[in-house]
């Protein structure tokens, strides 16, 4: 099976040197690039079936200016995002571009790194989230189903209990506060019970239930230790006294 084609960016600008430089940077960043020196030829390519993922459009060009090119794209119901690249810095031009249907307006003097970020945002691309660390040895966590197992034996955890175990397991050897564990299990801003520190009672009760459920499948389980006055920790080496 062939690899997925990179997003195609249409670069419409009458400055040949600018097109060459920017086109090379875009290609190095993993995009496909097609270039046109004026709006008329670009619109003709669109009429012939060109469907770019995004258009980088100059404002001041011979013949049709950028705002007219944008208007004709929208009249033709081409929905791809359009970013204006221009030396025009006056706010009136930016307002006209955005009102005309452009998604962004970037001065040509800005660095390519900034433009690349704007392109990624406009295409809905994001940096992938960091991979979740593997759970500690012996613990299995299925975040989609909220199911857990210890040394191959399933645990009957509630959704809130699963979230607390996951919070501890995500940072083995590091103490997790009562407040953070409460927020993990109940959600930030949830009423924390009676008194200013009512959440501590809730967390202690939850951890007691969690330990009991682990010990039902492994009587020697002792991985969840406490840090008096602060919270709990998933122990990786020497268990703390509980």
pLDDT surpassing 70 at residue 195: no
Q: What is the pLDDT of residues 48-81, one digit of tens each?
A: 888 999 999 998 888 888 889 988 888 876 778 8
Q: Which domains does the chain have, with CATH numbers?
A: 8-122 (3.40.50.2300), 139-234 (1.10.10.10)
102 neighbors 82 (Cβ within 8 angstroms): yes
As a whole-number percent, the residues of the chain with pLDDT over 90 amount to 37
Q: Name the pLDDT band for 200 (thresholds 50, 70, 90).
A: confident
- HEC string of the chain equals CCCCCCCEEEEECCCHHHHHHHHHHHHHCCCEEEEECCHHHHHHHHHCCCCCCEEEEECCCCCCCHHHHHHHHHHCCCCCCEEEEECCCCHHHHHHHHHCCCCEEEECCCCHHHHHHHHHHHCCCCCCCCCCCCCCCCEEEECCCCEEEECCEEECCCHHHHHHHHHHHHCCCCCEEHHHHHHHHHCCCCCCCCCCCHHHHHHHHHHHHHHHHHHHHCCCCCCEEEECCCEEEECCCCCCCC
202 neighbors 192 (Cβ within 8 angstroms): yes
Q: Name the pLDDT band for 125 (thresholds 50, 70, 90).
A: low
200 neighbors 185 (Cβ within 8 angstroms): no
Q: What is the pLDDT of residues 110-119, one digit of tens each?
A: 888 888 888 8
pTM for the structure as a whole: 0.50
Q: What is the pLDDT of residues 150-185, one digit of tens each?
A: 999 999 888 788 889 999 999 999 999 988 898 887
Q: What is the mean pLDDT of the chain?
A: 82
26 neighbors 54 (Cβ within 8 angstroms): no
Which residues, including other chains, have CB under 8 Å from residue 191's CB and lie 6 or more apart? none
Rounded to whole angstroms, the Cα distance separating 91 from 31 reads 30
């Amino acid at each position: 099976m062939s690899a997925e084609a990179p997003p195609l960016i249409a670069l419409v600008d009458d400055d040949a040197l600018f097109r060459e430089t920017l086109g090379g940077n875009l290609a190095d960043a993993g995009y496909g690039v097609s270039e046109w020196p004026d709006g008329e030829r670009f619109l003709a390519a669109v009429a012939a079936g060109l469907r770019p993922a995004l258009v980088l459009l100059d404002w001041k060009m011979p013949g049709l200016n950028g705002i007219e090119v944008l208007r004709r794209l929208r009249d033709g119901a081409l929905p791809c995002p359009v970013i204006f690249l221009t030396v025009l810095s006056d706010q009136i031009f930016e307002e006209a571009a955005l009102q005309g249907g452009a998604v962004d307006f970037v001065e040509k003097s800005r660095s390519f790194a900034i433009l690349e970020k704007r392109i990624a945002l406009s295409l809905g691309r994001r940096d992938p989230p960091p991979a979740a660390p593997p759970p500690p040895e012996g613990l299995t966590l299925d975040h989609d189903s909220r199911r857990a197992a210890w040394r191959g034996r399933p645990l009957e955890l509630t959704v809130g209990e699963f979230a607390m175990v996951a919070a501890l397991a995500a940072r083995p050897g590091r103490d997790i506060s009562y407040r953070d564990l409460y927020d993990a299990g109940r959600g930030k801003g949830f009423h924390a019970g009676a008194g200013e520190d009512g959440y501590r009672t809730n967390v202690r009760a939850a951890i007691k239930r969690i330990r009991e459920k682990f010990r039902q499948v492994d009587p020697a389980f002792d991985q969840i230790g406490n840090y008096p006055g602060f919270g709990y920790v998933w122990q990786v080496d020497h268990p703390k006294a509980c």
